[in-house]
């Protein structure tokens, strides 16, 4: 039988965090081991990464984890649940699904054309924006942040799958017009 929760009722009854967590897990019918397993995802990020395939996977993974409220733990070498999620499960699965289509290794083999990618980029952003507006679980505060995160992640993926860095000028224009050496390289 569920205990009645009065207004202003404090859940820190025992005074210690560990005991409170145990009480909470008992109340929710969860097991310690189960929570521990679910709150940690083993995924190693190589800091000196040169392989394009690993980079692609990282971008997609980082986006998903930040939406779920997980941060990278360097000591353990994986993502750990550190805060609340900022989007619902439905939105997370949909947006990462769209990202994974671009973060697939097959795009490297085909070497995507920049013109085609620009159209796909705009289309993907529109889809996610629509989903953001429709999703009732996402608060207004997070809407812009999530959309910007998605755009940046896709931008980074686009750099790899289209082959060269300067190709992305077509999407955002030349970021630094004052190029002293006139080398044509964009300074990010």
Partner 1 sequence: MKKNKKLEDNNFKNISSNKIIIKVYKDFGSNIGILKADYEAEERRDAYNNLVSINKEFLHDEDIDFSIDDVYHNMQVVLEFKNKTKEEKVKLLEEKIIYQEKLIQFLDKFPEINSIFNYSDENLKLHDYKLLKDYSGNINGSGAYFTIEKGKRIYSFDSVDGFLIPIWRGISSHTQYPDHTRKKKIIIQEDIILKNELQKYDINKKVGNLIIWGLICISILFALNLWGGLRILQMQGDITTEAHADALKCVEYTSNINKLYAEAAANKLFEKDDPAIQTRIKDISPKEIS
Which of 49/119 has CB closer to partner 1?
A: 119
* Positions in 70-99 near partner 1 (CB under 8 A): 70, 81-90
Min dist CB 34 to partner 1, Å, is 7
* Residue 25 in tokens: 């897990």
Residue 137 as a binder of partner 1 (CB under 8 A): the answer is yes
Contact between 122 and 151 under an 8 Å Cβ cutoff? The reply is no
Closest alpha carbon to 73 in 39, 50, 48: 39
Q: Which residues pair with 42 in a beta bridge?
A: 78
Residue 34 as a binder of partner 1 (CB under 8 A): the answer is yes
CA distance to 9, 29, 90, 92, per residue, from 96 (Å): 38, 30, 10, 6
State whether residue 70 is helix, strand or coil.
Answer: strand
Which of 21/119 has CB closer to partner 1?
A: 21
Residue 136 as a binder of partner 1 (CB under 8 A): the answer is yes
φ/ψ of 16, rounded to 5, equals: -115, 145
Min dist CB 89 to partner 1, Å, is 5
Return the residue matching tokens 């000591």: 75
Residue 65 as a binder of partner 1 (CB under 8 A): the answer is no
Residue 130 as a binder of partner 1 (CB under 8 A): the answer is yes
* Residue 4 in tokens: 């009645």
What is the contact surface with partner 1 in residues (CB under 8 A)?
2-5, 11-12, 20-21, 24-25, 27-28, 30, 34-36, 38-39, 68-70, 81-90, 126, 129-130, 133-134, 136-139
């Amino acid at each position: 039988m569920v205990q009645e929760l009065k207004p202003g009722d404090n859940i820190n009854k025992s005074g210690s965090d560990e005991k409170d967590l145990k009480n909470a897990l008992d109340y929710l019918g969860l097991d310690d081991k189960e929570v521990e397993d679910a709150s940690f995802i083993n995924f190693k990020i190589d800091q000196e990464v040169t392989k394009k395939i690993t980079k692609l996977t990282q971008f997609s993974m980082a986006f998903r984890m930040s939406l779920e409220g997980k941060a990278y733990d360097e000591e353990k070498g994986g993502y750990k649940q550190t805060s609340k999620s900022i989007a619902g499960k439905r939105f997370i699965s949909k947006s990462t699904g769209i990202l994974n289509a671009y973060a697939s290794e097959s795009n490297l083999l085909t070497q995507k054309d920049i013109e085609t990618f620009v159209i796909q980029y705009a289309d993907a952003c529109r889809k996610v924006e629509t989903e953001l507006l429709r999703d009732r679980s996402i608060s207004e505060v997070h809407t812009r942040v999530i959309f910007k995160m998605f755009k940046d992640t896709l931008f980074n993926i686009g750099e790899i799958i289209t082959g060269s860095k300067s190709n992305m000028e077509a999407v955002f224009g030349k970021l630094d017009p004052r190029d002293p050496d006139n080398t044509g390289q964009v300074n990010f």
